[in-house]
Amino acid sequence: MPLALIVALPFLGALLPGLMIRAGRNASAIVTGAATALALLGLLLHAPAVLRGEVIHDRISWVPGLGLNANFFLDGLGLLFATLILGIGLLIILYARFYLSKTDPMGQFYTYLLLFQGAMVGIVLSDNILLLLVFWELTSLSSFLLIGYWKHLPEGRQGARMALAVTGMGGLSMIAGMLILGQIAGSYDLSVILQHKDLIQASPMYLPALILILIGAFAKSAQFPFHFWLPHAMAAPTPVSAYLHSATMVKAGLFLMARLWPVLAGRPEWFYIVATTGLVTMVMAAKIALFKDDLKALLAFSTVSHLGLITLLLGFGTEAGAVAAVLHIINHASFKAALFMTAGIVDHETHTRDAKRLGGLMTLMPITFTIATVAGLSMAGIPPFNGFLSKEMMLEQSAHTAWAANPWLLGALATLGALFSVAYSLRYIAHVFLGPVRDDYPAKPHDPAFGMWASPAFLAVLVILIGLFPMPMVGWIVTAAAGAVTGAHPHVHIALWHGVTPALWMSIAAIAGGALLLAAHRPLERLWHATPKPEAKRIFDALIEAATVTSRAITRGLHNGSMSRYLAVFSVASVAAGLIAFLGASHSAGTRALTPVEPIPLIAWFLLMSATVAVVMFHHNRLLSLVLVGVVGLMVSIAFVYLSAPDLALTQISVEVVTVILLLLALNFLPKQTPHESGGGRKSRDAVIAIAAGLGIGGLIYALMTRDFAFDTISAFHLAKSKLEGGGTNVVNVILVDFRGYDTYGEITVLGIAAMAIYALTDTLLRGPANRRLRNWVHDLKRAGDRHPLMLVVATRVMMPITLMVGIYIFLRGHNEPGGGFIAGLIVAVALVIQYMASGFAWAHQRQQVNYHALIGLGVLVAGITGTGAFLAGRPFLTSDFGYFHIPFLGELELATAMGFDTGVFLTVVGAVMLALASLSLIARRAGETVNKMPMDIDPSGKDGRAETDAGDAGEAL
């Protein structure tokens, strides 16, 4: 099975639970488990090859120019993590089926779980760091959904936000570090990066990359000082907690450190940053866990502690440390998932997780007690369970590692962390299950059904088997994974007995000290609560509040709604940047001779400048300003014709006509005069900025037009390839529908969205206070008695078919002559608009009932289908194809798929213009009801409506 399919299966499976939940909870759980099991089967099919030392690759070219490819690879480390993710995922799916209540939306839960699972599998199998970053952020988003699954709980919502904020911040840091790492190695593929240890460690950017990457890893794996988010994620359902703590999410940071170990480890910076952070986290979290009464909180801080232990082992930078880290990843996943599930069982059956309200459950819940005891003793590092094996290896490494030339400090602190670990593990067993049976349980305790305890029981059996037979059970996968971490062939020997070593005495001290701590727990707890200490959550909340206040102040200062301020800042920044570049470079005279100035272009330029200046001088008169803007547009159109750009001229003049009509309709509802708001000083400031910006742009254009450049412009390529590869002699149209068809596709999509936004705003205006103002609106000018002059009506009726024929002609000739779908759409829109102008909106609407929303959607869909056809044919999206065909009676014609794309553009343009017109005209109709006292029932989407009156219609408004 291809690796890409293994990654995709959970995402594809996420489509099923929400559908199958209608067939029942069992059906939803079965399809969820089937998707996971199928992915696990596909993974295990590659296991024999990986264990032989092979690396499985699956490469999919995506954006090779940016180094972004969907490349996957599977080695020993990836096999270990993917097996844990999918294997424990299966157990969690079974457990969740019986844990979740009937009121919990199980289909939604399994959907989120599969998305989370797929993101984690994507991380561990990615061979491209950019792709890895995509999956990395997906884990943050999907874990946000899982942690906040119980939306009715405030602590669930807050825990989800906190997890997203902390891990998201770390992810941003890691993105920067990964990009630096890729730049140093010259590739974004992990398989290539891992071969350049010397190059990376010799680079001056090694330390910045290391720090940035470690921030991301530490945040994800809840290392100090980012540890606080993980305990607050315990508001999630227990299946989420068990999965998140054992095989996913928090293990992602450990995986990243292990994956990059071959190129980042070995330098003192790695040891002091990673090992120190792991040691501090291990001891600190273990101490906190001892005094937590909530069972899930106790286990959460124990997870933080054990994650610190694994980080410490990776920080040693030695082969033995890597082997121990890999082993403890396996051990921790097995006993921690089992412990969380037993905590969930206790909560499910007794309705409480408070250790002070529990005790004596050993006889009432014997199965749960047995599972919890096995897993708890393993977490404590008690032989013969598997946790003892990796704890001993950690203590052995700590005993032989000096920190800052001190040979005993690291070993002593590691022993202290192990001591606390023993204490909180024994407390979990003793305070929950031992002691006398109580008579005040919130609910009557009993063991749950088989479906709920089957998963933790399976893991408890693994805990015992791995402890008793470590090499046959996990030696093979530890060897493969540790080999992938170290890039060598490590000697792996795991056994319960290693002789009398320093680690043995340290372990005995930890067990004895832990037992004493448990015995003295009550007075120590009083001392703990009486001692003032910083609260990470309060610090986080204070930082978030401060950041929120600061960002609001900055936002209100910069984004105060003043368009003139925005333009001033943008213009000043642009002029300053250009001035700095100008003053910091040498200058030479232009190499191109100036062309003589002819009288007609000079006159046109003078008219253009005069109209522009007049707009500035008389902008308070809105109607006059609109006329002057139209003059400017007309002169620009003439300039396009003069400069041999007929396509641009046609587009410009068509846009001008439509824009003026729509703006006239909009201005009908605004005051005819803009109030005078700016003082003399502000006007002078704006004038200086405008003149400086104009001179800067003019100078830049002059410099470009009077110089020859050593490089070829893109226009030469388009001119040469337009006919050969696009099948059209109209270069502009071929660029729009072929070479840069994706840009055009985005533009028509935006155009459709803009039209729908106008519709939505109009609908809002017709409700509430705006509606009352429209009903009370009195026209400020006397209105003409003849709303629809007969000459105008007759002329527009005659022009309608002629204009439509012109539009069709412009559309059909567009690939080889000036024209195309955009211009044709505007011309047809004008043909329809003039009917509304002459005869009124109601009359035109009765005869032209078109759903403009659907027309926009159809246009975008048609254009997209054209592009998809090219993609399915193995060519880039929206690539045009063409051919020459002999058609009877017509002769030989060229047919191109670009016509389909142009059809989509045409439909979108017509729909967008008419929807905007209909939306604005609806305001006029609503205002006209005041005069006629008639109800309004015309839908601007064009779906239905009655035309009782022409009062206030588009023609009158215009």
pLDDT surpassing 90 at residue 82: yes
How confident is the model at residue 843, as a pLDDT?
Answer: 78
What DSSP state is assigned to residue 653?
H
Rounded Cα gap, residues 610 and 621, in angstroms: 16
Stretch 662-678: mean pLDDT, rounded? Answer: 72
The pLDDT of residue 229 is above 70? yes
Name the amino acid, one letter, at 74.
Answer: L
Q: Most confidently modeled of 107-121, 500-514, 842-856?
A: 107-121
Asked if residues 666 and 920 have their Cβ atoms less than 8 Å apart, the reply is: yes
Question: What pLDDT was estimated at residue 103?
Answer: 86
Closest CA to 673 of 615, 625, 628: 625
Tens-place pLDDT, residues 451-505: 999 999 999 999 999 999 999 999 999 999 999 999 888 888 888 887 788 888 8
Which pLDDT belongs to residue 42? 93
Q: Is 932 left (phi over 0), alpha (psi -120 to 50) or beta?
A: alpha
Residue 786 pLDDT? 63
pLDDT of residue 236 exceeding 70, the answer is yes
CA dihedral 669, 674, 677, 680 (to 10 degrees): 170
What's the confidence (pLDDT) of residue 108?
92
Q: What is the spatial distance between Cα 723 and Cα 727, in angstroms, rounded to a whole number?
A: 4
| Closest CA relative to residue 727, chosen from 816, 645, 808 | 816
* Cβ pair 317, 270 in contact under 8 A: yes
Look at residue 64 and tell me whether its pLDDT is greater than 80. Answer: no
Residue type, 170: G
Write down how long the chain is. 958
- How far apart CA 150 and CA 902 sit, in angstroms, is 49
Our measurement of the distance from residue 394's CA atom to the centroid of its chain's CA atoms, rounded to an integer in Å, reads 38
How many other CB atoms are found less than 10 A from the CB of residue 115? 21
More confident residue, 114 or 657: 114
Are the C-beta atoms of 938 and 947 separated by less than 8 Å?
Answer: yes
Distances, alpha carbon 148 to alpha carbons 91, 109, 155, in Å: 21, 11, 9
Q: How far apart are CA 23 and CA 733, in angstroms?
A: 53
**pLDDT at residue number 729:** 83
User: Which stretches of 50-199 are assigned E, i.e. beta strand?
Assistant: 56-58, 72-74
Asked if 89 and 25 count as a contact pair (C-beta separation under 8 A), the reply is no
> Residue 401: pLDDT band by 50, 70, 90 thresholds?
confident
pTM over 0.75: no
Say if residue 261 is exposed, middle or buried (CB neighbours under 10 Å; 0-12, 13-18, 19+): buried
Residue with tokens 């190695």: 185
**HSE-CB for 744 with a 13 A CA cutoff:** 30
Phi, psi (rounded to 5 degrees) for 817: -135, 165
Residues with Cβ within 8 Å of 460's Cβ and at least 6 positions away in sequence, in order, are: 338, 370, 371, 374, 375
Q: How many C-beta atoms surround the C-beta of residue 723 within 10 A? A: 15
The per-residue pLDDT of the chain, averaged, comes to: 86
CA dihedral of 151, 153, 159, 160, whole degrees rounded to 10 = 0
